[in-house]
Amino acid sequence: MRISRGLPAAAGGPTALTIGNFDGVHLGHQAMLAELARASVRLGVPSCVLTFEPHPREFFAPDQAPTRLTSLREKLELLAGLGVDRVHICRFNYAFAQVSAGVFIELVLKRGLGARWLLVGDDFRFGARRAGDTVMLKQAAPRFGFEVAAMPDVTLDGERVSSTAVRNALDAGELDRAARLLGRAYSISGRVVRGDGLGRKLGFPTANVQMKHNRPPLGGIFAVRLHGVSEAPFAGVASLGVRPTVKLQGAPVLEVHLFDFDGDLYRRHVRVEFLHKFRDEEKYADLATLTRRIALDVENARAFFNQRDTRRFKTFNHKGH
């Protein structure tokens, strides 16, 4: 997949294009990208995604913007995995926010990106003051020589699949529901960095995974799997939060204690997959109480994985017969 930052002055050729933030790359996004791929093959042109950094709502109202489901790196990895040929990352700033809808169509869609076929959501808006919509695009399409298709909503169990729905599920600790909306378990990727060593002192060494943003969409104590160390993932228990027992006003920290692992993960880039939430973060009177609670969390996580493995064995055994 070819990645470009900024908008080209002139396209290298025609493209099948879609536009969006694609935060989370959930089932609705995946349906759009499948349509994009089909158009790309049908027309014999590359599939192209135009996305924005930062999210427009982060630019206009950072304190009110939604939490991110994926970092830019995670989003690009997911797009690559779905077969997108090109991604253009547009820097969303004051100058870009002032571009009129008409200029956006002519200079960005046609001249810069070479759109021959364009797919947008039914509620897509663009240009200064969000003046452009799908009606405007369809009216302009014959003049600029591209087709416009509108993607209907994707629903699952009667619910519209959206980044907001995924955030709500994660915030409520409903990881199975989030996984259904995403088409995979929710995960956070990052590099393992040095921590304060408290986990090791308490008898539960942890890998501190650096997050790109300080507002994760979930928090608490979880059963997790960690990818990126070996071919098979490692099971463990994770804490994601501000650690109120040891910090007065700390930033969110993701700490993972792995079962049956003895090694150094420092500086490795790993992916933490969240499978089950046990509880919210709590503040304890002292470190001794915290240690006892961690021991119970570890015990509960081991039981979760043992039960999960048992269910899988029974399913496999039943199918095998």
Q: Are residues 211 and 280 in the same domain?
A: yes
Question: Over pLDDT 70: what percentage of the chain?
Answer: 96
Task: Give a yes or no: residue 116 inside a domain.
Answer: yes
Q: How confident is the model at residue 270 (pLDDT cuts 50, 70, 90)?
A: very high
Q: What pLDDT, in 10s, does the model give residues 74-92?
A: 999 999 999 999 999 999 8
From the CB of residue 291, how many other CB atoms can be counted at a distance below 10 Å? Answer: 15
**Quick one: pLDDT at residue 6?**
87
Q: What pLDDT, in 10s, does the model give residues 254-263?
A: 999 999 888 8
Question: What phi and psi, each to the nearest 5 degrees, are found at residue 27?
Answer: -60, -35
What is the rounded distance in angstroms from the CA atom of residue 138 to the CA atom of residue 135? Answer: 5
Question: Best-predicted range by mean pLDDT among 25-39, 45-59, 83-97, 209-223?
Answer: 25-39
Hey, which residues does 16 pair with through a beta bridge? 47, 117
Hey, which residues does 274 pair with through a beta bridge? 224
Supply the range of the domain harboring residue 206.
Answer: 185-320
What is the rounded distance in angstroms from the CA atom of residue 45 to the CA atom of residue 314? Answer: 47
The beta strands (E) that lie in the chain are given as 2-5, 15-19, 47-53, 86-91, 115-121, 147-151, 155-156, 159-160, 187-193, 207-209, 220-227, 234-241, 253-258, 269-279
CATH number at residue 293: 2.40.30.30
Q: Are residues 201 and 114 in the same domain?
A: no
Task: Give a yes or no: residue 164 inside a domain.
Answer: no
Q: Are residues 40 and 155 in the same domain?
A: yes
Task: Give a yes or no: residue 289 inside a domain.
Answer: yes
Average pLDDT (104-125) is 94
Q: What pLDDT, in 10s, does the model give residues 128-141?
A: 989 999 999 999 99
Residue 94: pLDDT over 70:
yes
Hey, which residues does 279 pair with through a beta bridge? 221
Question: Over pLDDT 90: what percentage of the chain?
Answer: 74
More confident site: 247 or 25: 25
Residue 314: pLDDT over 80:
no
Q: How confident is the model at residue 3 (pLDDT cuts 50, 70, 90)?
A: very high
DSSP annotation of 128: G
What is the rounded distance in angstroms from the CA atom of residue 127 to the CA atom of residue 106? Answer: 12
Structurally, the chain folds into a number of domains equal to 2
Q: How confident is the model at residue 313 (pLDDT cuts 50, 70, 90)?
A: very low
More confident site: 43 or 315: 43
Q: Return the half-sphere exposure (C-beta side, CA atoms, 13 A cut-off) of residue 110.
A: 17
Task: Give a yes or no: residue 176 inside a domain.
Answer: no
What is the rounded distance in angstroms from the CA atom of residue 151 to the CA atom of residue 22? Answer: 14
- Pick from 144, 159, 174: which residue ends a domain? 159
- Pick from 114, 141, 159: which residue ends a domain? 159
